[in-house]
Structures are given as structure tokens and as C-alpha cells.
Amino acid sequence: MTEGQSKLRLASKWAALLGVTLLFLFPFYWTLVTAIKAKPELLTWPPVWWPAKPQWGNFAAAWAAQPFGTYLKNSVLVTLLSTIGQLLSSSLVAFGFARFDFPGRNFLFMVLLAAMMIPWDVTMIPLYMEFNWLGWINTLKPLIVPAWFGAPFFIFLLRQFIMSIPRELDEAAKMDGANMFQIYWKIHLPLMLPALVLVGTFQVLAAWNDYLGPLIFLNDESLYTLTLGLARFKTLHDTNLTALAAMTIILCLPPLVLFLTAQRYIMDSSLSSGIKG
Amino acid sequence: MRPVAAPATRLSSRFRPGAATPYLFIAPWMIGFLAFTLGPLLFSLYISFFDWPLVGEPEFSGLKNYTTILTDDADFIRSLKVTLKFAAMFVPANLIVALLLAMLLNQPMFASGFFRAAFYVPSIISGVALVTIWSWLLSHEYGVINYMLSFLGIAQINWLGSPNWAPVSIVLVSLWSVGGTMLIFLAGLKGISKELYEAASLSGVGKIGQFFLITLPLLSPVLLFNLVTTVIAAFQQLTLALLLTKGGPVKSTYMLAMYIYDNAFKYHDMGYAAAMSWLMLLLIIALTVAIFKFSSMWVFYETEVKGEKP
């Protein structure tokens, strides 16, 4: 390969990288710009790339346009409670599968893996009827309670992680008179921290971003989560672009902050182990 | 092992104190699985044989729901066609873009972590946010995308308002959140030994040859995984269809998942919707089985080289 060719290849590689990065980040920029534009700058051709005078007050106006404070409170509640439940239950079950040998274990684990593949569309109808029968429709329970029973994908990830922890640690604790629950609680749970951060992140994202669950299970506006509130706001006030953009940013902000903090765990630890396991 | 020994040890372990302990650990999942997965799944099958309104008395109707869906429901046939057409675009587009991005990232370079994060970050935001963001970008009259295209001499495209473009728009928006699939490809690419490429390079195999001779075969198990999950995702696509295009225009994005949703939660025809969801499940299972059957023709496991074929 000549030097000219390799330079060309290097240049095209960087052009592709920067071009794609621009494509992926531009929508975020555009949302921010839309949120701080003045009314006359919104529907123009050519588009206004940066407002003459950024209208930061648009955020406060958007916030006041709907009971977004209530939506936010509901979203936080659902996210927090479902994540606590998911971490406790999934790690407990994962420990059971990783550290015990019992009749039916492999069969049950196969069932668990198969359950990962069941599409939500099939269970949403009977789940609605079940929650209706329990009197849970129009409460936050359907969005919180199931998370306290573990989720197959998280159990699978955590089991893979526990299996990489040396069994000698368990044996040593047993010598000291610890029972299996104490071994799980005092030894494995702290050691699992990186995997728990990962599972917690995924669960927070799933709960915070969920739209179909709230859509189906909630009726009263006082119970709406942010996603449902924003979707309804869009249906009712499709032309109020600045408010929509401002609320979109508020909806995206927690996942973005969480991602930037937990990035290390998301990018490295899990994926290879999850796939190759 | 002697055959007589097996039942004896099983029996003794069953009566050993503490033999129930493992089941206590996995009990949360087992209860949850029965209450929120298997139970509902079977209940859904049960009610699919009934005329079951949300309010009022259910009435047994045998196979009537199924025969009506398959022979006398034009909306079902249309939404099935729309779904298959959508999947035919969605699956290859997502796999190809995810693989290309992963390959772009899988090179030694400066600031690789930044680029990886930039490509991945759109996939962590809510579908509702995707919808609000892209409905402006794709706006017919004032959208930035049409504005950029105008420099290439392309007339304004009615992305969301034309039956030909609306499904394409959903695919485009979904490509923005391709990051999860991309990361899985990237993990697979990182597992391929660099020496293989060096050896191929020394024997004069070019970059394109290396892709087909090394990358694709060694990546095929990962490709199989991504193929199956992407096919399932295509059939489940609901949020974008509900919010971005509302199934329209002229039902061009009225997919199966949305039709099931409408039957259940708009028309409250639970038995009919359940029957349809079971047909969809069977279709997904059939597709998955077919993919796995054919996978032996193109999926290559490294162990086969060492003669350890399972």
C-alpha cells in the first residue's frame, strides 16, 4: 500500500466517524434549540440554527402548562421502587441458580431463558385482565410489583457474574458458620456491585422510559408518568413546539446523566459475558 | 455410575433438611413467572376460544375467533402485510447499520470511547422522546431533513404524511436507536483474533475478502442472535406506530401489534385480541425456528475447527 492510499483511508475513516457522530448527536442539539426559540423562529424556511435571543424562560412556561410535577413524582416513584425490587429479587434468584445443585435446576433455567423470548404483546391483554381482577388498574402497582419477582435477562446476567466468583469464598464463610442466605447477603451482594450497577441502570431506563405500561394500566391524570404525560401533551398541543421540546429534554436528562455516570459498566462488563456465556 | 445409585441419592437429598433452600432462593422468579408470564399466557389462550368482552358475560365460541381472523378480517390481513413489509425493511436496515457502525468503532483510534458513547446514547432515551424529536426533524414543510435534502436537489418529502414514506420514516427513526444491537456486534468483533487478519493480509487477501472470509463467518453466531432479537422487535413495534404516525396515513403503518392493541383496548374485544396475539406468537415462533433451522447452513462455530462439533 502506498503512503497516499493509507492517508486517504485514514481521512475517509475520520470523515465517516465524524459524519456519523454528527448525525447521531444532531437531533439532541435540535431539540435544545427548538426549546429555546422564540415563536417566530420556529416554523421558518430555512430553519433558524440558533435563536437570536435564547428563551430560557420557555422551560418554566412548559413546566406550568401541564401538571408535570405530578408526572415527575409518579415516574420517580415507579422507577425507584421497581429498581429496588428488581435488584433484590434478580440477585437472589441468580444466586439460587448459580450456587445450588437441585433437581430440575437445568430445566427451570431453560424455562427462564425461553421466557425472555415471549413478546409482551401476548401477555399484555391477560395481564390487563389480571390486574383488573386484582383491582390494580389505575394504580401504580402494575408498574412496580412485577419487578419484585425478577426478570429473566437480569437473572441471567447476574448468574453469569456470580459463576465467576470463586467458590472458595463460600466454603470459607461456611466454615465460619454462615448459612447460604448470609453468604448471598454478606459476600456475594457486595462483590456483585458492578453487575448490580448494570442491572440497576437497565431497570431504571426501562421503568423511566416505559410508555405502553402506563398507557394501558393508568387512567387518571394524577397517576400519569412523564412519558404518558408528554405523549398526551403532544396529542393535545402538537403545535406548542417549544413546550414539547422543553419537556422532551426533561424526559431525556435523567437517562443521559445516568448513562454518563454508569457508562463504564454498560460498555465493558456485561455485553461480552452476556453473549458468550 | 451404577444405575441403582441415582435414585438413592435423589431420595436422600430430597429428605435432607435444607433441601428446600434452593427453591426458596428462586421462589420469587417462580412465583412471578406463574403470575405474570405463564398464567397470563395460558389464560390468553383460554379466552381466545371465547367471545369475551371486557365488561359483560363471556360466551364460548370455539374456534370462531381464529376462523374469523384468518378468513374474514381484511384489517388483519392488511396489518399482517404491513408488518411483514415493515420487518423486511427494519431487520436488514438495523442489522447492516449496526454492523457497519460496530466495524467503524472496532479500529484502533483516538477517543474511541467518545464515539462509542455518541453512537449508543440515542438508544437509552424513551420512545416518546424519539417521537417528539423526530416529528420535527421529519416535518414536511419546515423539517431540517428536508432542508438538507434540498441542497441535493431533492424536493420536500412528505415523510410522515405519505403512505409510501411513513413506514420508511419509522425504520429511519428506529435506526437512530440501533446502539444496543451495535454493541453486541462490537463485542463479537472484539472477540476475533487480530492474527487472523494479519495472516490474511500477508497472503494478499484484501479488506473486502477479509470481511467475507474472516469477519462474517466468525461473527455469524452473534449475527444469528441479533437477527432473532431484531425480528422479534420488528413484530413488537408499537410505540412509534401509535405516536409518530398513528397507524396512518391510510393505515400504511397500521401494524399487527397496533391492531391487537386496538381490538383489546379500544373495542374491548379481549377474546378476539387474544386469539390474534396467539397467532402472532405462533408466527414469531415459526420464524425463529426457521431461522435456527437454516442457521446451520451459515452459522459457523469456532469449535468446529477443532473437531469438537457438539
Greater pLDDT, A270 or B143? B143
Q: Quick one: which of B143, B103, B107, B101 has its CA closest to B122?
A: B101
pLDDT of the residue at B302 = 65
Supply the pTM of this predicted model.
Answer: 0.88
Q: Which chain A residues touch B28 with a CB distance below 8 Å? A: 89, 92-93, 148-150
Q: How would you label B282-295 residue by residue, b for 16+ Cβ within 10 Å and e otherwise?
A: eebeebeeeeeeeb
Report the half-sphere exposure of B51 (CA within 13 A, side-chain side): 8
| φ, ψ for residue B163, nearest 5 deg | -60, -25
Give the DSSP letter of residue A256. Answer: H
Please report the ipTM that was assigned to this predicted complex: 0.87
What Å distances lie between residue B58 and A135, B15, B271, CA to CA?
A: 19, 46, 9
Q: Is B97's pLDDT higher than 80?
A: yes
How many other CB atoms are found less than 10 A from the CB of residue B280? 21
- Say which residues have a Cβ less than 8 Å from residue A235's Cβ, sequence separation at least 6: none
Task: State the cell numbers at A139.
Answer: 394504580
- Say which residues have a Cβ less than 8 Å from residue B242's Cβ, sequence separation at least 6: B258, B261
Q: Looking at the partner chain, which of B101, B122, B128 has a beta carbon nearest the beta carbon of A251? A: B128
What sign has the CA pseudo-torsion A176, A180, A181, A187? positive
pLDDT of the residue at A273 = 44
Tell me if B81 sits within 8 A of B291, measured CB to CB: no
Q: What three-state secondary structure class fits A40?
A: helix
The Cα of B9 is separated from the nearest Cα of chain A by a number of Å equal to 11
The 3-state secondary structure of chain B reads: CCCCHHHHHHHHHHHCCCCCHHHHHHHHHHHHHHHHHHHHHHHHHHHCCEECECCCCCEECCCHHHHHHHHCCHHHHHHHHHHHHHHHHHHHHHHHHHHHHHHHHCCCCCCHHHHHHHHHHHHHCCHHHHHHHHHHHCCCCCCHHHHHHHHCCCCCCCCCCCCCCHHHHHHHHHHHCCHHHHHHHHHHHHCCCHHHHHHHHHCCCCHHHHHHHHHHHHHHHHHHHHHHHHHHHHHHCCHHHHHHHCCCCCCCCCCHHHHHHHHHHCCCEHHHHHHHHHHHHHHHHHHHHHHHHHHHHHCCCHHHHHCCCC
Residues of chain A with pLDDT under 70: 1-3, 268-277
pLDDT of the residue at B15 = 52
Segment B218-266, tens digit of pLDDT: 999 899 999 999 999 999 889 898 898 888 788 889 999 999 999 999 9
Tell me if A120 sits within 8 A of B52, measured CB to CB: no
- Rg of chain B (C-alpha set): 25
Dist CA B41 CA A122 (whole Å) = 7
Q: Which of A17, A18, A95, A233 to mutate to test the interface with B (most CBs of B within 10 A)?
A: A17
Q: Which residue of A has its CA nearest to B11?
A: A103
- Rg of chain A (C-alpha set): 24
Q: To the nearest whole percent, how much of chain B has pLDDT over 70? A: 92
Q: Please name the residues between 39 and 58 in chain B that touch chain A, using a CB distance below 8 Å.
A: 39-41, 43-44, 47, 54
Q: Quick one: which of B91, B90, B249, B239 has its CA closest to B165?
A: B249
Q: To the nearest whole percent, how much of chain B has pLDDT over 90? A: 55
Q: What three-state secondary structure class fits A138?
A: coil
Dist CA B163 CA B290 (whole Å) = 31
Of B187-191, B206-210, B270-274, highest mean pLDDT: B270-274
Q: Quick one: which of A261, A255, A257 has its CA closest to A206?
A: A255
Q: Which chain B residues touch A93 with a CB distance below 8 Å? A: 25-26, 28-29
| φ, ψ for residue A119, nearest 5 deg | -70, 145
Segment A97-130, tens digit of pLDDT: 999 999 999 999 999 998 988 888 889 999 999 9
What Å distances lie between residue B257 and A21, B132, B260, B274, CA to CA?
A: 32, 21, 5, 11
Tell me if A45 sits within 8 A of B141, measured CB to CB: yes
Task: State the cell numbers at B65.
Answer: 375467533
- Say which residues have a Cβ less than 8 Å from residue A11's Cβ, sequence separation at least 6: none
Which H or E run includes A251? Answer: helix A241-264
Q: Is B309's pLDDT higher than 70?
A: no
Greater pLDDT, B207 or B94? B94
Q: Which residue of B has its CA nearest to A97?
A: B26
pLDDT of the residue at B16 = 61
Q: Looking at the partner chain, which of B25, B126, B131 has a beta carbon nearest the beta carbon of A100? A: B25
Band of pLDDT at residue B304, cut at 50, 70 and 90: low
Q: Which chain A residues touch B240 with a CB distance below 8 Å? A: none
Mean pLDDT of B201-216: 89
What are the DSSP calls for A63-103, one per residue?
HHHTTHHHHHHHHHHHHHHHHHHHHHHHHHHHHHHHH---T
Segment B26-77, tens digit of pLDDT: 999 999 999 999 999 999 999 999 999 988 889 999 899 999 999 999 999 9
Q: Please name the residues between 68 and 127 in chain A that touch chain B, using a CB distance below 8 Å.
A: 89, 92-93, 95-97, 100-103, 105, 108, 111-112, 115, 117-127
